Structure 1
Amino acid sequence: MNFKTRFCLILGATLIAAGCSSTADKPAAAAAPSGPTPDSCTSSVVEHLKGQTATPELLEQARQQAGASSARILTPTSVVTLEYNRQRLNLNVDEQRIITRVTCG
């Protein structure tokens, strides 16, 4: 075998062995704290708003109650991005602006 072939075989074996190494020596990750964190949205707190008419005032009250940093009203024709923001409250409404769904994201 020539030098290049031997080198490639040794390098490949080393990389495979490194990928199979044990993680037992690594410290365990700290457990996540339970409960809402500051500026984290909790939609279950405002589930009672379903069936009500969405207004800017109600949106702000819901945002504060849910602990969200931002909030928006989503109509059936709203164009939204696919970005997930766990600190944002979403009030989904129907054509008459009646709240049909409450989520965070």
Structure 2
Amino acid sequence: MNLKTRFSLILAAALFAAGCSSTAEKSEPATKPAEPGLGCTSSAVQHLEGKIATPELLEQARQQAGASTARILTPSSMVTLEYNGQRLNLNVDDQRVITRVSCG
């Protein structure tokens, strides 16, 4: 196997491994959503935009939105592409100020 082929394989493996990791913070799933059957409702926590994201605020937002899980997404967070209607996302800037609230 020549050097170029080895390098390509190592690079592909590194990219694959990087895509499988995540730095997003996650809360533990709730035993039951705030409003069973309705799923995540991001409009219930839109008022949090502009606030500093903390683990405590994340849990409070998760409960208010009726989500089963929640996560804080920083500008450098790697995320998976699957949609989860029971998950609340708090997008933050580099200073952890909430810039967007969504479900999915």
- TM normalised by structure 2 equals 0.65
Partner Cα separation in structure 2 for residue 48 and residue 91 of structure 1: 12
CA displacement at 1:38 relative to structure 2 = 2.6
| Match in the other structure for 2:57 | 58
Structure 1's 39 and 70: CA in aligned 2 closer, same or farther, altered over 3 A? farther
Structure 1 position 37, deviation (Å): 4.8
Amino-acid identity (%): 76
Q: Any stretches of 5+ residues in structure 1 without a counterpart?
A: 1-35
Q: CA RMSD in A?
A: 1.2
| Amino acid corresponding to residue 46 of structure 2 in structure 1 | E
Work out whether 1:79 is the aligned partner of 2:78: yes
Q: State the alpha-carbon separation in 2 of the partners of residues 97 and 43 from structure 1.
A: 18
Asked if the contact 1:38/1:67 (under 8 Å) is kept, the reply is no
Map of 2:43 onto structure 1: 44
Contact 1:39–1:69, Cα closer than 8 Å, also in 2? no
* CA distance in structure 2 between the partners assigned to 1:71 and 1:39 by the alignment: 16
Greater C-alpha Rg: 1
The one-letter code of the counterpart of 2:63 is: Q
AA aligned to 1:52 is K
**Alignment partner, residue 92 of structure 1:** 91
Give unmatched runs, 5+ long, in structure 2: 1-34
Could you tell me which residue of structure 1 aligns to residue 30 of structure 2? none
- Structure having greater relative contact order (Cα 8 Å, sep ≥ 6): 2
1:101 CA drift (Å): 0.1
**SS in structure 1 at match of 2:59:** helix
